[in-house]
Amino acid sequence: MAHPISLEKVIPDTLKEFGLDKKARSYSVITAWPKIVGEKIAKATHPEKLDKGVLTVKVKNQVWRYELQMQKPGIMEKIAQEFGEGMVRDIQWK
């Protein structure tokens, strides 16, 4: 009789088998955005997509865009800590 396999093992293996693991990880960056930047910044921004290592984030206004450009190195560092170096190579504020 076969032993049960946990979903923690099955889901990543299945995603990898179908070539969806990178897509799932990039979606994780978008869904984790509030955790990464905090509630205040999350309310003024909306991550739209992660494509070829570039995260595109819609920003409420020019003032926020300037502020976030100044905070970009710290945000990039938090993303790298959470998802690994190189997952996000740049952030474009839109």
pLDDT digits (tens, 9 = 90+) for 56-76: 999 999 999 999 999 999 999
User: What are the structure tokens assigned to 63, written together?
Assistant: 């003032």
Query: Other CB atoms closer than 10 Å to residue 55's CB: what's the count?
Result: 23
N-terminal to C-terminal alpha carbon distance within the chain: 55
Q: What is the pLDDT at residue 63?
A: 96
pTM flag (> 0.85): no
Q: What is the pLDDT at residue 10?
A: 63
CATH of domain 7-93: 3.30.300
Domain boundaries, the chain: 7-93
Query: Other CB atoms closer than 10 Å to residue 63's CB: what's the count?
Result: 10
Report CA torsion sign: 90, 81, 25, 62: negative
Question: In whole angstroms, what is the distance from residue 92 CA to residue 94 CA?
Answer: 6
